[in-house]
Amino acid sequence: MSSISPTAMPPQLFDAHVHVVGADATKYPRHGPSLPNGAWWEDEDASVEVFQRRTEDAAIVGVALVQATGTYGADNSYLVDALAREGTNDQPVLVGVGVVDPTAPDAIDHLTRLVDHGIRGIRLFHIPTPTPPWLDRPEADALVDAAADLGCVINICIQNHDFGLVAHHLDRRPDVTFTLDHCGFPELSDGPPFADAEPLWKLAEHENLHVKFSPTLAALASFDASSDDDAAELVLAAVADHFGPDRVMLGTDWPQHREPGLSYAGQVDRMIRWTAAWSDADRTSMLAANTAKLFGL
């Protein structure tokens, strides 16, 4: 697939956040950090082959495969091989976001090798917060600068107590576009207008920050609402009101996040419905165009 033209078709998603994990744990050893949500890959076939079959019934034009850090840490071998796999012409375009440990002595060389193998983005993964934190340290700055020089999308994954570390990069490199996984997991339990999410809303002042909205984030919205879909639509509305629809991207977080009883195609359709109240132009931006543009498609 050489181009993305979502305005010429019914609403479709360029899924900004999907994980893949190989079935062969010998060829692709699993040595990631311990994460709060556990080993989700142990009860789901998350291989790229299975995932591509799942997309056949989904309204999908493209997918960003994000390194499954909890599974593999900074070993991107499976991600690189998944991107190299031959797909059929009618399958969605795949782009890759890898992980590099900025504290490793060969961090810049590692990044360069990933780009040489087709990786288009780099993920600064800061969960759980390391001791000591490195996100605002010179080594992270050097990795950001190298990634920017190589034309990489720079993705940050944090929990909400680290919003100030994100601001460090936004202030230091206003010429670089950053993306924030799951909107940084802001506090949403107070309900609209989500005053407790002020640290996130403050970051919206930085025009070089884009945010990913996902079902994982929507599931944290534990305020009283008539339905889970209503809650998700209210949170999405608040995010898009603060950042603008041109800086919001939607991603399923599949299969780390799976709604009971919903297939991948069902989750995609559900997310598309969350945007139903927006104009066609704004829906196109949030569902597909923003992600496609960020990756240069």
CATH number for 98:
3.20.20.140
Task: State how many domains the chain has.
Answer: 1
Residue 10 covered by a domain: yes
- Least Cα distance to 103 among 64, 132, 128, 61 occurs for 132
The whole-number average pLDDT for the span 23-34 is 83
- Residues 140 and 99: beta-carbon distance below 8 Å: no
- Residues 248 and 271: beta-carbon distance below 8 Å: no
Range of the domain at 285: 6-294
Residue 34 covered by a domain: yes
The whole-number average pLDDT for the span 153-163 is 95
pLDDT at res. 33: 62
Residue 249 covered by a domain: yes
- Least Cα distance to 122 among 137, 132, 112 occurs for 112
**pLDDT per residue over 116-142, tens digit each?**
999 999 999 999 899 899 999 999 999
**CA atoms of 292 and 227, how far apart (whole Å):** 31
pTM: 0.92
Residue 223 covered by a domain: yes
**pLDDT per residue over 204-215, tens digit each?**
999 999 999 999
Q: Is the pLDDT of residue 88 over 70?
A: no
Residue 217 covered by a domain: yes
Residue 287 covered by a domain: yes
pLDDT at res. 9: 58
Residue 179 covered by a domain: yes
Q: Is the pLDDT of residue 5 over 50?
A: no
Average pLDDT over the chain reads: 91
Match 């206003």 to its residue by tokens: 174
**Tokens coding 32:** 């990631």
Compare 88 and 6 and report the one with higher pLDDT.
88
pLDDT at res. 224: 73
CA distances from residue 250 to 28, 76, 170 in whole angstroms, order as listed? 29, 23, 21
Q: Is the pLDDT of residue 271 over 60?
A: yes
Compare 34 and 117 and report the one with higher pLDDT.
117
Residue 1 covered by a domain: no
Least confident interval from 5-9, 50-54, 118-122: 5-9
Give me the sign of the Cα torsion angle 141, 132, 17, 179.
Answer: negative
**CA atoms of 63 and 16, how far apart (whole Å):** 6
